[in-house]
Amino acid sequence: MKRFLEPFTFENGAELRNRIMLAPMTNFSSADTGETTPEEREYYRVRSRGAGAVITACANVTPGGKGFPGEIGADRDDLVPSLGELASVIKKEGAKAILQIYHGGRMAPPNLLPDEQPVSASAVPAARENAPVPRKLEAAEIDEIIRAYGEGTRRAIEAGYDGVEIHGANTYLIQQFFSPHSNRRTDEWGGTLEKRMRFPLAVLNEVKKAAEAADSQFLVGYRISPEEMEEPGITMEDTLALVNTLTEEGLDYLHVSVQDFHAGSMRDKEDTRSRVQLIQDEVGSRVPVVGVGSLHTPDDVEKAMEGGVPLMALGRELIVEPEWVEKAAEGRESEIRTELSVDDRETLVVPEPLWNAIVNTPGWFPVKEHAEK
């Protein structure tokens, strides 16, 4: 049997039926209020039939942290029933339901925010065209946002989730505090590497404190981006220090966010070692690492697991082929779709907002014009 089809048991006793997780992919399909929609829940349902765990798209923990239109909301108690409907749909199909909790920081579009003002560690805009200048967070606001991650975790527990994933990757607020590019503070929250770690660690500890109210098998994961292109920016040395510290504080899993599992450094082209494998080699004996990135076929996944990474997240692959795991398990690998056509939305059960993003973003997905007759 292929390694990724074997069950996996976390140290806290939580069990996955296999080692494939649905990666957290933004789908733009919740209501403007933050409530999940029937189309969104059906999209998750069909992908929950095979995966061992489903990590939802990011859910904002404060109104000022909303980073995408149609984002899942976890910032108000009245959203718990809607969150619960999604958790129930996922769990009924046999997958663990994990809510990814998040704050967009300076990456949040002003038009989605109550006061149209993004916030961050410092008043430094992102290194992209026309990026808004964020407002530097006051110390009291930082404490409020940390508490909001705990409240988001409480809501996830009340809604019946099996765990939460702290989104510390992809240039959003937690990464902004860790990055020397976006964090120019000179107080307790910035300056040295140790001080830049304080916000990620404070969020983790607040989430863990909230998770004490849950079943002992409730999972707390953390997603991380290994490096940044910017100067100054996060280096691999910074990240190895952070993952060691996160591991010491106690995590159920560490999810590495990269476009390509095998890709080397974005900062040093001569360093071709896989960033995921480097993290596995550093902390994999103490915390389960989740790999991801351009692993299209069962053979791709098996090859990536050869270095000891125990869990794999599939994103685009499970959108293109909702039955990826089932077909792999049944020896029907030749039937696994590796591209989609503009006619496939209903067949693949993809909500219209996500579908429009897929077909209108060249190079993101392997899209052919029309299905073959």
Please list the active-site residues.
172
Closest CA to 97 of 249, 221, 263, 251: 221
**CA distances to 84, 319, 344 from 296, in Å:** 31, 11, 18
Closest CA to 23 of 61, 62, 53, 63: 53
Residue with tokens 């599939």, as numbered in its chain: 314
Entry field: residues in the chain: 373
Closest CA to 104 of 60, 135, 145: 60
Instruction: Please give the Cα distance from 57 to 71 (Å, whole number).
Output: 8
| Ramachandran class of 181: left when φ > 0, alpha when ψ lies in -120 to 50, beta otherwise | alpha
**Residue 297 exposure: Cα atoms within 13 Å on the Cβ side:** 9
Tokens of 38: 């029937």
Q: Are 277 and 231 in contact (CB under 8 A)?
A: no
The neighbour count for residue 84, using CB atoms within 10 Å, is 18
Tokens of 182: 């976006």
